[in-house]
Each structure stands twice: as C-alpha cells, then as structure tokens.
Amino acid sequence: MNSTDTESNDHQRLIERLKRIETLFADAAATAGEKTAAGQARERIRQRLAAFAQVDPPVEYSFALRNPWSHKLFVALLRRYNIRPYRYARQRYTTVMARVPARFVRETLWPEFVELDRTLQSYLTEETNRIIAESLNKDTSDVEVRSGQALPATAMMEAADAFQ
C-alpha cells in the first residue's frame, strides 16, 4: 500500500469517527441500527432543537474559539442544524455568535462540538507531526525547558495570524 492509499484510509477513518460522534449525540436511547444512519441522527438533533426552542427560547451566545480549525468546525456544526452563525463588526474572527436555546447548547451542541474538536485536533496534530518528521526533521518533540531566569529578548517575532 502506498502513502496515498494510507492517507486516504486515514481521512476516511476520521470522517467515520466524526459521523459516529454525531450519531451518539443524536439520541442516547437509539437502537444500534439507527446509530449507523448519520442522516437520521442529524434529523433527530434538529427535532430536539425545535422542541427545545418551544419551551426554551433562543438566546444570543458568544462562542470564543481557539483556532481557525475549531472555528470552521463549529460554524459547520451550527449550519448543519440550520443555526445561522454570525459575528459583529470588530469582533475577532474566532468569535462566533448564534441564537440558540440554552438547553440545546448545554445538552447537545457544546458537548458534541467538544468531542468533534478533540477528535479533529488529535488528527491534525498527528498529521502535522508526520509531515514535519517526513519533510523537515524526525524530532517533533517540544522544546527544551531551561531552569533559571529568562534574559530580556533582544528581538521578538510572532507568527502572523493569516486567518483574519
């Protein structure tokens, strides 16, 4: 098997893991057969959202996300459930606003996002380490931690945030 086949399999496994996470949050009491149908899972979550909206009116939430990948994932998750994400002028790119019932956020949306984000971040970290090891240097460990006082920096560089 060549590296393209391996990468394709890795991507497919990630997609399947993300779909399984969505299914788990759709209905904890669902049968095993239902859990394999991602479309049914999505519809059950949409129905739950509609039910919550009847007794728990939507409130405006501000979600502060750490990085562009989490931002994209969260926006996609909102849109999947027909929730319109937005942000106000002068808010950071990683801030996402949405009007959502509080119970839906607590019981479904945020726990599902956290699990999806954890899975995606793990995959991205593994892939980043693999690519760096293959193309730049096999040592992908963290930097050395030195004891003592840090000297004043004579020059400082920050990575520009290309996603804003």
Encoded tokens for 59: 């409130």
Q: Is residue 151 part of a domain?
A: no
Q: Is residue 5 part of a domain?
A: no
Region label for 2, one of left (φ > 0), alpha (ψ between -120 and 50) or beta (otherwise)? beta
Q: Is residue 115 part of a domain?
A: yes
Q: Is residue 156 part of a domain?
A: no
Q: Select from 85, 98, 105, 94 the least CA-distant residue to 65.
A: 94
Q: Is residue 158 part of a domain?
A: no
CA distance 127 to 140: 12
111: domain range? 11-134
Q: Is residue 157 part of a domain?
A: no
What tens digit of pLDDT does each residue of 52-92 get?
777 888 999 999 998 999 999 999 999 988 999 999 999 99
Other CB atoms closer than 10 Å to residue 111's CB: what's the count? 14
Number of domains in the chain: 1
What SS3 class is residue 104? helix
Q: Give the model's confidence band at 127: pLDDT under 50 very low, under 70 low, under 90 confident, else very high.
A: confident
Q: Give the model's confidence band at 29: pLDDT under 50 very low, under 70 low, under 90 confident, else very high.
A: very low
Q: Is residue 108 part of a domain?
A: yes
Q: Is residue 66 part of a domain?
A: yes
pTM attached to this predicted model:
0.69
